[in-house]
């Protein structure tokens, strides 16, 4: 384990990976600048746990909260425009996913929302209510320009084939929407910042967060283990004492188990077996993913990996939603190489 360090809080960086982030009003692109900013924030907040979420029409955990800056930088390289199956920009999904990632940690909770601000969320107010209730400060970073830029549609080699058009066939111009971002930051007691460069933005975020009344928490750099053996040990000693007492008294317990004739078929038993088996067989990918999420919350990484694997196998062809969670489970199991392969394959597969 690494030495005990003073951790000042926890940050989730939510990065917009919708198609509009491919716009090039900031060179080389909005998303490339978001990557640089993410790495700069990791450098500025070495005394924080940091996690990364990618979002568009849905949000997915890209990197669980960690103090490993190399892991954060590695997973940041997998971010690309249009990498997620559901397109659009839903801030509510990003906020809820961030709240879930931060739920198990104490201390200051901060979310940094990096986006061009074009939201299509109908549940933003409800998500902000939840953020305020859980004292989540949401700092918003606007990437782009108010004048806007066309959205390039590229091939697998990065060559521009055409520009995105709406349903009426008109070329879409993506503009920075600062009003929504100011609303989100103001509602949660944080601040909005228009992006001018990675280092400047990261320093400004650090300066602003340092001005908040932070609750100090202590933790380990790599892991935080607590001794919890006292109660199981006390129970084991009690059971041992009972066993010794029974042996001394000579007490004997007998348990009669009914015997069934061989070769007999019991319809009730068969129905009970089917009742238990059918729900498992009928479980769809979403249900399996929810079971994986439950196991993940209990830190049972192998079981979470098993459920996510089954969900990915049952998902329709081209549906990459569950692979991100699958890669996250592998990362928690410290199989970094395979986790990286899954993230890269998912990003390359696109929507």
| 70-111 per-position pLDDT tens digit | 889 888 888 999 999 888 899 999 999 999 999 999 889 999
pLDDT digits over 319-341, tens only?
766 777 877 777 777 777 777 77
* Confidence grade of residue 171 (pLDDT, cut at 50, 70, 90): very high
Assigned token pair, 88: 């659009």
Assigned token pair, 280: 């498992």
Same domain, 212 and 326: no
With b for 16 or more beta-carbon neighbours within 10 A and e for fewer, the 257-290 pattern comes to eeeeeeeeeeeeeeeeeeeeeeeeeebebebbbe
- CB distance 323 to 346 below 8 Å: yes
Would residue 228 count as lying in a domain?
Answer: no
Same domain, 87 and 147: yes
Same domain, 175 and 29: yes
Cα(192)–Cα(139) distance, integer angstroms: 6
β-pair type (173-174, 149-150): antiparallel
Tell me the residue range of the domain where 207 lies: 4-220
Check the CA dihedral 334-335-340-345 and report its sign.
negative
What total of structural domains would you count in the chain? Answer: 2
Same domain, 208 and 272: no
Assigned token pair, 233: 């040990």
Same domain, 35 and 120: yes
Q: Give the chain's mean pLDDT.
A: 80
Question: For residues 327 and 223, which has the higher predicted lDDT (pLDDT)?
Answer: 327
Cα(187)–Cα(206) distance, integer angstroms: 19
- CB distance 237 to 23 below 8 Å: no
Assigned token pair, 172: 């879409």
Assigned token pair, 100: 């879930």
67: CB partners within 8 A, 6+ apart: 2, 5, 7, 46, 48, 49, 50, 221, 222
User: Cβ-count burial of 105 within 10 angstroms (0-12 exposed, 13-18 middle, 19+ buried)?
Assistant: middle
Would residue 152 count as lying in a domain?
Answer: yes
Query: How many residues appear in the chain?
Result: 351
* pTM reported for the whole predicted model: 0.61
Task: Give Dmax over CA atoms of the chain in angstroms.
Answer: 90
């Amino acid at each position: 384990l690494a030495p005990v360090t003073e951790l000042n809080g926890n940050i989730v960086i939510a990065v917009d990976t919708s198609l509009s982030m491919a716009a090039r009003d900031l060179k080389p692109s909005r998303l490339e600048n978001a990557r640089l900013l993410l790495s700069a924030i990791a450098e500025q907040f070495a005394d924080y746990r940091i996690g990364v979420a990618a979002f568009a029409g849905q949000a997915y955990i890209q990197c669980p909260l960690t103090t490993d800056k190399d892991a954060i930088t590695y997973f940041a390289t997998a971010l690309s425009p249009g990498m997620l199956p559901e397109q659009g920009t839903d801030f509510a999904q990003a906020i809820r996913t961030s709240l879930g990632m931060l739920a198990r940690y104490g201390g200051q909770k901060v979310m940094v929302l990096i986006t061009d601000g074009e939201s299509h969320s109908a549940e933003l107010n409800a998500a902000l209510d939840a953020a305020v209730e859980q004292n989540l400060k949401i700092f918003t970073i606007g990437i782009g320009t108010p004048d806007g830029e066309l959205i390039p549609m590229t091939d697998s080699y990065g060559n521009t084939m055409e520009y995105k058009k709406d349903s009426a066939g008109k070329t879409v111009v993506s503009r920075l929407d600062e009003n929504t971002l100011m609303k989100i930051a103001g509602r949660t007691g944080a601040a909005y910042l228009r992006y001018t460069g990675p280092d400047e933005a990261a320093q400004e975020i650090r300066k602003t967060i340092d001005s908040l009344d932070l609750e100090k928490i202590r933790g380990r750099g790599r892991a935080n283990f607590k001794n919890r053996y006292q109660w199981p040990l006390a129970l084991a000693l009690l059971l041992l004492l009972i066993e010794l007492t029974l042996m001394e008294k000579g007490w004997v317990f007998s348990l009669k188990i009914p015997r069934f004739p061989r070769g007999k078929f019991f319809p009730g038993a068969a129905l009970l077996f089917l009742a238990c088996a059918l729900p498992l067989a009928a479980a769809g990918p979403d249900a399996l993913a929810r079971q994986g999420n439950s196991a993940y919350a209990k830190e049972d990484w192998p079981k979470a990996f098993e459920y996510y694997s089954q969900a990915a196998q049952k998902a329709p062809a081209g549906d990459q939603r569950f692979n991100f969670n699958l890669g996250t489970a592998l990362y928690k199991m410290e199989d970094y190489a395979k986790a990286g392969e899954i993230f890269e394959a998912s990003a390359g597969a696109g929507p």
